[in-house]
Every structure is written in structure tokens, then in C-alpha cells.
Amino acid sequence: MITIPVINTERLILRGPRESDFEAFAAFGASERSRWVGGPYPRIRNWGGFLATFGHWALRGYGMWMLEDRTTGATAGRVGMIYNDGWEEPELGWHIFDGFEGKGMAYEAAEAARSYAATHYNLDGVISYIAPDNLRSIALAERLGATLERVGTLLGHEAHIYRHPKETS
């Protein structure tokens, strides 16, 4: 059994995935909005990605949380720490699902996840890989206090690597 911690913010619950989250996850993965993370993907690939959430928590001891809107109970996205094979170091990543973008939820969730990871997993001053033309993610990274550290590559594509400020000293 994998234990995924729960984080409560003002408007969100960051928690482990439930099977009921899959339709929202798959809709995002099949949409044009998923192009920033390598998509769009067919449904079976989305299922594998959804299940990989559990695998990451099991192998690394940390991972991505699903975002639940506290008011409606709807699945609003996912945010958390990922460190995939071939990556330079752990990343703070975010995916906000259709209908929840532009409301500050990504900021609220990313800030909570980043703080939790720094305190509980010693993942402090992490990076975010961002496609150079993903202006919304760049704006969010900068709002979170991250700065462009360098230009690199991720999965064969150019990526801007933003460094987040340290939470602890």
C-alpha cells in the first residue's frame, strides 16, 4: 500500500489519485493543452500515465498530487514533484485541467507542494522544465519566485530550466 500525504489549501485538496479522477486526467491528456507535456496522447497512454503516478510515489517516495476543488469536489489538475528516468534532477510540475485555469489554483497548489517537498523530502530549490513558448507556465514559475537558470533539453526538445528559491535554510 502506498501512502500519499494529503495537503489542504484554502481552495484545494492535494491528494493521491482515485480512479474517479481518470476521466479528467484523460481529457487533459487527449487535449491540445497537453502539448506542453508531450501530448496529446491516446486513452491507453493516458491510463499508463495515470498509473505511473502510483509508481513514482512507490519508487521515489514523492510524486504528483491530484487537485480536488474543495467547493465542488471536481478534479482540477495535478501538481507535484517528478523525477523521471534521464532527467537531471527532480522537477516541480503542474497540469491544470480545463475549466480551472486562470484562477490562481496552479499557484496555490504549486506553492503548497513545493513547501511540503522541501520540508518533508529535502527537495528544496528544485527546478521546473518549461517549453520556451509556454508563456503561462513561465509566468507561473516567475510568480512562484523561480528564475531562468539555463536553457537545456528535455526529451529531445528545448526546455527553459527555472530554479525555484530555497524554502529552508
Q: What is the pLDDT of residue 28?
A: 78
Q: Does some domain include residue 37?
A: yes
Instruction: Give the phi and the psi of residue 147 in degrees, each rounded to 5.
Output: -125, 150
Residue in the block written with cell 493516458: 46
Alpha carbon 48 to its chain's center: 16
Domain assignment present for 15: yes
Kindly state whether residue 167 falls inside one of the protein's structural domains. no
Taking only the tens place, the pLDDT of each residue in 24-60 is 988 877 767 756 666 577 778 878 788 989 999 999 9
User: For residue 46, is it within any domain?
Assistant: yes
Three-class DSSP category at 74: coil
- Say which CATH number the domain at 108 has: 3.40.630.30
Q: Measured between alpha carbons, how far is 63 from 113 in angstroms, rounded to an integer?
A: 10
The domain total for the chain is: 1
* Type of residue numbered 111: E
In a domain, 155, yes or no: no
> Distance between CA atoms of 140 and 160, rounded to whole angstroms?
13
How many CA atoms within 13 Å lie on the side-chain side of 57?
17
Query: Is pLDDT above 70 for 1?
Result: yes
38, 28 Cβ separation under 8 angstroms: no
Of 104, 100, 92, nearest to 130 by C-alpha is 92
pLDDT at 103 over 80: yes
Percent residues over pLDDT 90 in the chain: 71
Which residue range(s) make up the domain with 43? 7-123
Confidence band, pLDDT 50/70/90 cuts, at residue 92: very high
Supply the pLDDT for residue 112.
Answer: 98
Question: What is the 3-state composition of the chain as percent helix, strand, coil, each rounded to the nearest 5?
Answer: 35, 25, 35
Assess if residue 102 is contained within a domain.
yes
Q: Decide if 101 is inside a domain.
A: yes
Residues 131-158: what's their mean pLDDT? 93
Question: Is 90 inside any structural domain?
Answer: yes
**Which one has a higher pLDDT value, 132 or 30?**
132
C-alpha cell at 86: 534521464
Task: State what percent of residues in the chain have pLDDT above 70.
Answer: 94
pLDDT of residue 111: 97
C-alpha dist (Å) from residue 38 to 63, 87, 156: 19, 15, 11
Grid coordinates representing 91 are: 522537477
pTM for the predicted model, two decimal places:
0.93
What is the rounded distance in angstroms from the CA atom of residue 45 to the CA atom of residue 53? 13
Instruction: Give the chain's mean pLDDT.
Output: 91
